[in-house]
Each structure stands twice: as C-alpha cells, then as structure tokens.
Chain A
Amino acid sequence: MTMVDEPTGTQAPEKEVGKARRRKEDARLITGKTTWTDNMSLPGMLHIAVVRSPVAHARISNVDVSAAKAAPGVIEVYTGRDFAEEQGSLPCAWPVTPDMVNPGHPSIAVDSVNHVGEAVALIVARSKVAAQDAVELVDIDYDVLPPVLRMEEAVKDGADLVHDELSSNTSYHFVFDAGDAGLGGNTDQAFADAEVVVSRRFVNQRLIPAFMEPRSCVVSPQGDNYTMWSSTQIPHILRVMLAMVTGVPEHKLRIIAPDVGGGFGGKLQVNPEEVLALLVARRLGKPVKWTETRSESLMTAHHGRDQIQFIDIAADREGNVKGLKVRLLADMGAYLRLITPGVPALGAFMFPAIYKFPAYHFECDGVFTNKVPTDAYRGAGRPEATFAVERIMDELAVELGMDPLELRRKNWIQAQEFPFTTIAGLEYDSGDYEQATQQALQLIGYDELRAEQRQRRESGDPVQLGIGFSTFTEMCGLAPSRVLGSLAFGAGGWEHASIRMLPTGKVEVVTGSTPHGQGHETAWSQLVADELGVPFEDVEVLHGDTSISSRGLDTYGSRSLVVGGTAVVKAAEKVVAKARKIAAHLLEASEDDLEFTGGKFSVRGTPGTGLGIQEIALAIFAAHNYPEGIEPSIDADATFDPVNFSFPHGTHICAMEVDTETGMVKIRKYASVDDIGKIVNPLIVEGQIHGGLAQGIAQALYEEAVYDDDGNLTTGTFVDYLVPAASDLPHFDTGNTVHEAPGNPIGAKGVGEAGCIASTPAVVNAALDAVRHLGVTDIQMPLTPERVWRAIHQGGDGGERATAGTIAWGGASTETTTGVSTDASSLGGDR
C-alpha cells in the first residue's frame, strides 16, 4: 500500500484518519528542545546516588556510613533502617492465584539483599559528582548466602531458598485447563489418543528492555504537596501506588511524565528510586533528583521474559492438531514487582494462537531467584507464547514430514469463522490468515528463495539458506475491566479523555494514555480533526501530568489507540452533541434538522446557513445567548471500557543465511504482513512495526541478560548486552491487510507489540530450516555464532554460553556494578 499525499484541496472534507501525517512531536525532538526529566534543575535541588549490593544474596551485618556522611558536599546518607518504618512494600498489582506468595519488596534493603544491584544506602549531596564520589565511602558487611540462580534447581525439594522465611522458591502455581473451563476436551485423553506427540523444552531467555533514556525522577516538595517528574510510562498508576505505599495522600501528589525516551514495558513500574526520592524529599523538605547510569539501568531496571517452556503438541498423522500442553517455569527474580506474576500467566491465553486445538492445558510456576525482578517487556506474555507455539508447529511439521505452512493452514481459524472463540476462551474478532500469508509470500519472493535453498543444499554450499514462518495473533487493547477483574488484576482497563473547546476555536485534547515515543499527539489530532471537523493544526494533545490529565491508565499492551483513542472519539461525539444544541438555538432550527459535516452545522435543505463548531466555541465562551436548561460549555469527557480485546494478526517470513563453517547467521530478507485493523496513520504504523521487528529479531539473534554463578550480571553494559545497531539489522518489507476491529468505533486493533511478538520465532525457524538437514533440531536463543556452530557440529541446542563478560577494557564489562565497590574493580579486571 502507498501512503496518501498531504492535503491539496479543501472541497470535500478530507479525512485525516488514514493520512501519513508527519508527527507534531518531532518539532521539539529534532531540535533538542525536549524536556527529559534529567534536564530538570530546581533551586536548591539535591542529588541522590544509590549504593547498591555487589552480592546476589546476603544478610547485611553492618553498615558504616560515617565516612560518606563526612564527605564534601554530602547532606545526608540513609540506609534501609532509616526508612524501614515508612517505605512499605513496592506494589504487586497482580496476585494471579489466591494463594500466591509475595514476600514483599522493600525499596531499600533493610536486613538482607536478594539481587546484585539492590539498593542498600542512599547518598544525598549538593551535586551529582559529590553524591557519586561518596558512594565508594559507604562500608557494608555482608554475610553471603548461596545464590539461587537456576529455576530448574530452585524448584527442587531442599533447594536453597531466596527468601528463607518462605517454604519454597515457588511464588504461585497457576493452572488453566480448557476442559475444566468447559471450553474443550480432556487434554490427557487427547494426548493418550493421539497418533503423534511432539515434546520440546524451549528457553525464552532473560532480556532487558533497554529504553534509550535512562530512568530519572525529580521530586519537588511544596508544603505538604509533592510534584514528581519521572521518566515513566504510567504517571497515573504511579500516583495511586505512591500514595498507597508512602501514605502521602493522593490529592497531595502530582506526577508529571514529561518527554519520556522509550519504555517498552520497562517503565511500566513503580521503581524503588521513585519511592525513595519521595521519602527523601519529604524528610528533607528539599527538591531531589535521581538519574540512573546505563550500568545501573541494565542491572536494576526490571528485566523481561525468562521462561523455561515445556510444550507438548498432539496430532493425527494427517496433521490435524488434537491437543496442546504447556508447563512454564517463569523466573520472577527476587521479588514481585507491579505485574511480575501476571506476565507469564497472561500467556496462558495466547498459546493456542490461531489454531483450533480441541484440548488445552496450561500450568505455570512463578519461581524466585536471586536476580533482578522480571516484569513487562514489549509483548509481555504474548511473545513467549507465540515463540513456543510457532516453534512447536515447525517441529510437528518435521515430525509429520509436512510443509510447515501447510500444517498451519490445515489448523488455523478460517476467515469465515470469525468471531471465533478459542480453546482458551478468547473471542477473536476479525481477520484472514490466508490473505496475510499469501501477501507475505509474494513480498518475500518465496518461490525463488525455496529454489535457491534447494540449490544450496544440493551443491553443499557452506552457506545454507532457510525460510521460517510465524503466523501469529496477539491480544491487544488492554483491557476489558471486568475481564481484568476476573483475572485478579488490581486495576481496570478503561481509558479516559476530555476535550476542551477554547474560545478561539482551538481544541485541547486531554488523554489519560501517556505516550513515550508513540506519536499520540499526532494520531489523536487526526482523530479529533475528523470528529470535530477542525484543522489538524488546531488540535493540541495534553498528557502525562496528573493535574492536567486527572484520570488515566497510561500506555502499555498496545492499548492507546484502541482504548484511549476510542475515549477521545467518544468525547468528541459528546462535544458535537452539546454543540448541536447550541447550534440549533443560534440557527433557530430543530436539532433534528441539523447536519454536521466538515466542522459545520447546517440546516438540511437550506444552503448558505451554517455555524462552525469553532464559532460555537466562542459563542458559548461569551455565553450571551444559549438555550435554557443547559450549561454554557461544549467541553466533554469520556471514559471507554472495551468489552473485548482486539486481535491483530499477521504472517512474518524470514529468510536466513547460515554460514555452517562459523555459525554466523545473517537475515537475507524479512517480510511481514500485519493486520492491525484500521490504520489511522500509516507512517506511525510502519514505524511501530519496524521497531517491534528490531526488538523481536534482537531476542532471536543478539540479546540476553547473563548472570554468572555468583549472580553478577555480566551483560552489564552495552558492550556485552547487544542492542543491535543499524548495520546489524536487515531491511524490512512490510505490508498490511485490513480487517477492522468490531470492538471499537475506530476499528483499530493495536500495533505497538506486533512486530516484536511475531518476529522471534520466524527468525529461529528460518535458521533451523537452513540446517535441519544437517541434523539440527533446536538452537537456543540468542543464536550466537558459537551456539549455531555447536548445534551443527556437535549436536544439541548449542548449549550454555560462558558467563564471563568480554575482556574489553580490561574486564570492564564483568565488573560493571556501578556504584558497587568490589575488590576486582581495578583496571585489568580479574581475567
């Protein structure tokens, strides 16, 4: 598809929705006129640096802060003891089972530390440098305990415990059985009766969201009021949670998320440092700032994924699937954060994917380890599910000797079957998997690639070619509040918007969905321009400040347009309805005789009459002449609570070259066709797909958070945590099919996570397809050249990596416990 040009004429009111509008946000971002939280400087502002644990598991036996307190520029030094009575526990909003064990999560450690990087002391100083310098002066004695690092060992009887007051390392055991839920047959029976069963163990490795803007927060106390600027995705949720955790009354707290440099779920969190900054500001009555370094960010901001997946699929010899069984071990890390337990549990509903399984059973254990907690990362539950099911479909195809696409086609939901209720109880809204697949096959040039693959195999070329598929769907538009309630989630899933008509006819749109790079200001302007018939340029979108946008549930789960955008549309409809009454009064006509097009009310059949909605805004501002019995305002707000999720889908195809001599893999071509429903701005949509692809491909090929046997994060800098650069990624050929979502008036399904969810298995399947004839059946992610080479030449899945960081800069990367003093922290490292 091709984008539409900028508007040229003014005759028929041209629709904004569907136009490739350049983003309004860009003006400040490309000129450096941004307001990142760390740009903030307030009079008398103090700086916080955090002293962090260098050990993964220990009792704190002694803390000596005297030297740090005496250091130049230092105002105060705090330890966990200082806040023990008032810090409460960081919140976990998703008790996925009634008996889920939550050990509580102090923002600053009091008696014990449970992961490297946990806060143990705070320096408050007049300058950032002074605070940083004093970190090294805090002397802490640790009685080291054995670290619990591997889930499969942690769940065994007699395993060392992360929290010794608990009886095991298992936080919860979550079960979903379709048979018990009345949605399908007996899974055990289905497997017993099946002609073919394929079982696999997949590792969905630990990842780091690695947003580009490090986290930062500034707190300014004014009397008993506090304003916090934070680099957060969730100012509204943060406000509620901070009030509940610290006891600062909610109405005395104002949270502002100014320009926020990416999040990807990584800023969907109530951070210990946010709590602590508020407590310090309250204690001292002074404005304070905390900004993390990149090493702190990689080490202590929550991680994502980290599941061991046992998946079994049953089928008959003809390739009809008969059942699916999934057992997950999900690494919680040391504590439960905001939605830590819910991420893998959410996956329960996505494992059946687009296939018509007659039986399905899902179990998940949430397991504590001495690592930083996991939580939301782009896709959150859905990439894990999609990876496992799209991988096992390929394995089943191999077992059956079937073409992998043929197997999928045989089992997927047909276009005419929508809406379709799956074995997991979700009602898929709309789509056409065949259409998307056909389009993707054309985009990538499938037949030529298969021919080349044959030729390379026959000639024994050292570089082999493989083609991998991912025919995926996901659940977006989080979320129907009642459904969330049934899943024991601690909040609703509605979204709020309000529209303020200014006297000059300009429009302020207030959204509760707080962006951090997505382009809400542009897309919302397009929606409102169409709804109100006002120029795109006349709309200003306000967000991210709880004093301006008082109600909202923020941005995650591809919910913004679907839920937040719908709230905007509904608010606009109310504005029009209110304006209609004024127009009828001023035009001396019946409301029923008015039509509203292009921003103008006119009396049907009376050409030349008319009153623009922007003129009405002025008239009602003056309020000299308006109907009896109504208020003099056409402002409106709306809260939208969806009744169902939306279900984007698509087909992604990857063509991969594998150098069998070195194990190096290289993506030759990548094509994706996504159905995300109605497209409001094709430019933004394409950008979201590209970015998602980059992150999904990075999981397959590059990224992994690796801990050594002591529980040190050895991928603690960008030297070893490999975020791909431009030269590490291919060109993407992207396309769309459009089946509008029936569940919202826009027809949109959500696009933020699609590329990330779909791409990972396509890439791994492609690599396996290239070397399957050499006897390779699995390769662990990320597909490092070493793993690929080992899988080809030594069998297995490539095995574990060495955990030592690279030797760059004298072992810098193995000792990147910033703010942590260790004996080995000297140039030359400990190699």
Chain B
Amino acid sequence: MTEINVRVDGVAYADAVEPRTLLVHYLREQLGKVGTVVGCDTSNCGACTVHLDGEAVKSCTVLAVQADGCEVTTIEGIAPQGSLHPMQKAFHEMHGLQCGFCTPGMIMASIDLVNDNPNPTDDEVREGIEGNLCRCTGYQNIVRAVQQAAAEMSGGAPTSSETLGAQS
C-alpha cells in the first residue's frame, strides 16, 4: 500500500492504495465518486475522463498513486451543488446525450477542448472529442452542445451555425 494525498472536487483525501489501483477505481470505490465510469479497458472510449491538475486524462489509464499531490476534478465537481456548468447546460439544451453513460467523460473532454480552443469549428470539435465514444447520439448534437457551451464560456453569443432541432 502506498499513501497518497489528493484533492478531489475540492476535498482533500489521504488514503492508502495499492500501486496497481487505477485512478478511476480509486474514485469510484474508495471515494464513492461513481459519476465517473469505466467503459473499456484499452483507453479508447474516454468514459472515465477527469481533469488531473486541470488537464483531461483517462482515469482508467492513470494510476491512483500518480495522482498523489494532485488536484482531480470529476463530473461531480465542475459546478457548485444545485447549479450547472455551461457545458452541462448545453448538453441538456442541445440533447447531446441519450443513455448518458459516455456523458460525464464527454463533458470533461469537451471542457478541456474549449479551455484550449474557445471557439472551435464543427471539425475542431469532432477532432477534439475523438477520444470519447458515444454509441447513442451520432455526435451531431454533442457538436452543437460543445459549440453552444464554448460561446457561453467565452461570454459571447452562440456561434453555432446550426439551430437546435432545425432538421435543416
């Protein structure tokens, strides 16, 4: 067992973990942060995406011991209780989810993308979330959602060329 000190969603934890414990299993099983899920075992699906010191990572491909001394943000920590992050709001508004299993990871990856690129084009969004698989939506409404959230996060008006639900 190895001692780690880690802040998760603003709360400091000191825990003992086996070195082989994956960050996602630490979050889910030791901290009860079950909002972050596991969808694959080859780091393809991105469902487990969290922010590690502000950058999106796949928490199934990071060891919990590697988060020692770090700040982890999960889907449960991006907005104060009772309010929504603009990205969460946009996924709801634009119907960017169906079963919702990929959604926490998709939202965390999308926030990371918009942090780097505040005004992504359609193609830039598609490439920016290439590490996250969704089986339900066909992605089109996710693209809309990310663009709407990007506009809100940068304080501007929505730049999406598409109107929600206008089945053009």
Contacts and interface: CB of A to CB of B under 8 A. Distances in A.
A and B in contact, CB less than 8 Å = yes
A3 interface: yes
B165 A686 contact: yes
B122 A731 contact: yes
B100 A34 contact: yes
B75 A32 contact: yes
B31 to A, nearest CB: 12
Contacts of B126: 725-727, 729
Interface string A498-513: 0000000000000000
A726 B95 contact: no
A278 B119 CA distance: 52
A493 B102 CA distance: 31
A295 B88 CA distance: 30
A23 B97 CA distance: 10
Contacts of B20: 129
Interface residues of B, number: 62
Contact of A717 (B40, B134, B165): B40
Interface stretch (A175-183, A208-216, A310-318, A778-786): A208-216
Given A20-B165, A26-B97, A30-B92, A719 B137 contact: no
A711 interface: no
B22 to A, nearest CB: 11
A295 B33 CA distance: 24
A74 interface: no
Given A729-B139, A732-B138, A30 B98 contact: no
B143 interface: yes
B168 A443 contact: yes
Contacts of A25: 100
Contacts of A729: 126, 138-139
Contact of A30 (B28, B33, B91): B91
A620 B161 CA distance: 52
A236 to B, nearest CB: 19
Nearest to A297: B40
A190 to B, nearest CB: 40
B111 interface: no
Contacts of A820: none
B56 to A, nearest CB: 15
A347 B84 CA distance: 46
A526 B149 CA distance: 27
B102 A33 contact: no
B87 to A, nearest CB: 9
Contact of A690 (B45, B130, B141): B141
Contacts of A694: 135, 137-139
B14 interface: no
A518 B135 CA distance: 12
A682 B18 CA distance: 49
A736 B37 CA distance: 36
Given A3-B165, A212-B134, A261-B99, A31 B44 contact: no
Contacts of B34: 32, 34, 36, 39
B39 interface: yes
Contacts, number: 198
B116 interface: no
A285 interface: no
Given A294-B40, A691-B138, A726-B142, A684 B95 contact: yes
A214 B38 contact: yes
Contact of B137 (A36, A41, A687): A687
Interface in B1-60: 18, 20, 28-29, 33-42, 44-45, 47
Given A32-B104, A33-B35, A717-B44, A725 B98 contact: no
A384 to B, nearest CB: 20
A260 interface: yes
B49 to A, nearest CB: 12
B91 to A, nearest CB: 5
Nearest to A28: B100
Contact of B101 (A3, A262, A682, A818): A262
Interface string A676-708: 000000111011001111110000000000000
B68 interface: no
Interface in B114-168: 122-123, 125-127, 129-143, 163-168
Contacts of A262: 98-99, 101, 135-136
B99 A727 contact: no
Given A32-B104, A214-B38, A443-B168, A726 B125 contact: yes
Given A2-B165, A2-B166, A261 B133 contact: no
A693 B167 CA distance: 14
Given A20-B165, A718-B42, A736-B167, A212 B135 contact: yes
A569 B51 CA distance: 45
B127 to A, nearest CB: 5
Nearest to A231: B101
Nearest to A808: B42
B71 interface: no
B65 interface: no
Contact of A22 (B95, B100, B130): B95
Secondary structure at the B interface, as helix, strand, loop or mixed, is: loop
A717 B39 contact: no
A773 B137 CA distance: 36
Contacts of A586: none
Counting chain A CB atoms within 10 Å of each CB, the highest count among B20, B33, B126 belongs to B126
Contact of B98 (A41, A294, A691, A693): A691
A212 B95 contact: no
A292 to B, nearest CB: 10
A1 B167 CA distance: 6
A295 B39 CA distance: 10
Given A212-B47, A262-B135, A691-B137, A26 B42 contact: no
Given A259-B100, A262-B135, A717 B42 contact: yes
Contacts of B103: 29-30
Interface string B68-97: 000000111001000010001001110101
B67 interface: no
Contacts of A214: 38-39
B40 A734 contact: no
B107 interface: yes
A718 B133 contact: yes
Interface in A782-829: 809, 812, 818
Contacts of A649: none
Contacts of B84: 30-31
A723 interface: yes
Given A32-B35, A36-B37, A725 B107 contact: no
B99 A683 contact: no
A293 B132 CA distance: 17
A779 B18 CA distance: 51
A251 B100 CA distance: 32
A20 B129 CA distance: 26
A29 B164 contact: no
Contacts of B129: 725-726
A591 interface: no
B140 A517 contact: no
27 contacts: A20-B164, A20-B165, A22-B92, A30-B97, A31-B76, A32-B74, A32-B104, A212-B39, A212-B47, A212-B135, A212-B136, A262-B101, A264-B135, A517-B100, A517-B136, A683-B95, A686-B167, A690-B141, A717-B41, A717-B42, A723-B133, A725-B126, A726-B126, A729-B139, A734-B168, A809-B42, A812-B42
Listed from nearest, the 5 A-B pairs whose CB atoms lie closest are: A32-B35, A517-B99, A29-B100, A261-B101, A690-B138
Given A32-B75, A212-B47, 11 more contacts: A1-B166, A20-B165, A26-B92, A30-B92, A259-B100, A690-B137, A691-B137, A692-B138, A694-B138, A717-B41, A719-B42
